Amino acid sequence: MPDEIKRNEEFDSSNLVIFLYKWRKPLFYVMAGAIFCSWFFSLPLFLTPKYKSTVILFPASSGSASKALLSETPGKNDNLIALGESEQAEQLLQILNSNKIRDRVIRKFNLMEHYGIDSTSRYKISKLYKEYEKNISFRSTEYLAVEIAVFDKDPEMAAVIANTIAALLDSTKNDMQRQRSVAGFRIVEAEYLALDAEIKAIVDSLVTLGKLGVNDVEYQSQVLNQQMAVSIMNGNKTAMAALQKKLDILGQYGGIYLMLKNSLEFKTEQLTVLQSKYKEAKVDAESNLPQKFIVSDAYKAERKSYPIRWLIIVVTTFSAVFLAIIVIMVMEKINNYNSHKKFNLEQS
C-alpha cells in the first residue's frame, strides 16, 4: 500500500502525460461540453453582433487664421496646411471625450432608444453614458493621429456615427475658439470705431477752420506778414485792414489748427495699426476652419467585429480543461491523503 501511494504521488507531480491519458475520457467530455456551450452561448441569440467603423484623422495646426492669411511675418505654427503635433492630438482627444460632443451625438441619433435603455429608469442617464463609452472610443495612434472607433449592431449606423463625430469635432472646437475670438474682436472693434470717430471729428473741425480761412498757419502767417509789409510801405490802409483781419483770425485759431493737425497725424498712425488688428480679429472671429485632416473616413463594415466566436471557443475550452485538470489533481491529492491516513490507522 505505501508503494502504491508513493507511485501515485510521483505520478501526480511529474508524469503529466500519464495523468492526461488516465483521465482522457472526463477531460474529453469537459472539452466537448465547453466547445458546445461556448459555441451555443455565443450565438446572436445571446451575444448581439456588433460592427466596427473607424475614422483616422490628423489634427490641424492650431495657428491663427489671421496670422496665416494677413500677417506679413507669420509664426512657425501659423500655417493652415500644416499638420498638428502631439499637443494638438491630445487637445482633439480631450474635445472628443467632452460632453459637448457626447450629448450632441446622443440627441442626434436618439441613442437612448437605439441602445434599448428604459427612459423611465431611475439611472437611465448613467446607463446611457456607460453604453456610449462601451461602444464609442477615441485613442491616439503611434503616428500621432487620432482614431474614432464606433461599435454598433447596425453597420451603417456605426459608420454614420463615426463620420458625424468627426464632423462635430470641427464645429465644437470652432465654437470654443470663437467665444474668445469674438470677445477679443468686440474689444478691438470698440477701440477702432472710437478712434475713427475721433478722427472724423478732428477732420470736421479742420474743415470748419478752413472755411474761416485757416488752412496752413505757418505758410499763411508768412505770406500775410509779407503782404502787410508791402501794404504799409505803399500806405494802402484798405489792404492793411483786410490783412489785419485775416491775421487776427489766424492768431485766434492758429493754435487750435496746429493742435488738431498734430493730433490728426498721431491718431491716423494709431488707426492704421489698429485697423490691421481689427481686420485680424474679424477674420479670427468669423473664421470656421477645419480642425483636422481626414485620412480615412468610416464605411459600412461587411463583417462583424464582436463577438469573435473562435476566440471565445478557444479561450473557454482551454479554461474549462485547465480548471478540470486542477480539480482532478486536487481530488487525487485528497484521495491519496485519505488513503495514506487510513493506512496509518490500520497499521496502528
Confidence of residue 138 (pLDDT cuts 50, 70, 90): very high
Q: How far apart are CA 193 and CA 271, in angstroms?
A: 9
Given this model, what pLDDT does residue 139 score? 92
Output 73 or 334, whichever has higher pLDDT: 334
Q: How confident is the model over 196-209, as a mean pLDDT?
A: 85
Cα gap 55→159, rounded to integer Å? 9
Can you tell me the distance from the alpha carbon of 178 to that of 172, in angstroms, rounded to the nearest whole number? Answer: 10
pTM of the model: 0.65
| Mean pLDDT computed over 205-216 | 73
User: Each residue of 30-87: pLDDT tens digit?
Assistant: 888 888 887 777 776 667 788 999 999 998 876 565 555 555 555 555 555 666 677 8
Least confident of 195-199, 243-247, 307-311: 243-247
The predicted structure's pLDDT at residue 71: 57
pLDDT tens per residue, range 224-265? 667 667 667 777 677 677 666 766 666 666 677 778 888 888
Contacts of 312 (CB under 8 A, 6+ apart): 38, 42
Per-residue HEC secondary structure of the chain comes to CHHHHHHHHHHHHCCHHHHHHHCHHHHHHHHHHHHHHHHHHCCCCCCCCEEEEEEEEEEECCCCHHHHHCCCCCCCCCCCCCECCHHHHHHHHHHHCCHHHHHHHHHHHCHHHHCCCCCCCCCHHHHHHHHHHHHEEEEECCCCCEEEEEEECCHHHHHHHHHHHHHHHHHHHHHHHHHHHHHHHHHHHHHHHHHHHHHHHHHHHHHHHHHCCCCCHHHHHHHHHHHHHHHHHHCCHHHHHHHHHHHHHHHHHHHHHHHHHHHHHHHHHHHHHHHHHHHHHHHHHHCCCCCEEEEECCCCCCCCCECCHHHHHHHHHHHHHHHHHHHHHHHHHHHHHHHHHHHHHHHC
**Model confidence at 23: pLDDT above 70:** yes
Cβ of 147: how many Cβ atoms within 10 Å? Answer: 17
| Average of per-residue pLDDT values in the chain | 79
Task: Check whether 4 has a pLDDT greater than 60.
Answer: no
Residue 265 or 337, more confident: 265
Report pLDDT digits (tens) over 81-105. Answer: 666 677 888 989 999 999 999 999 9
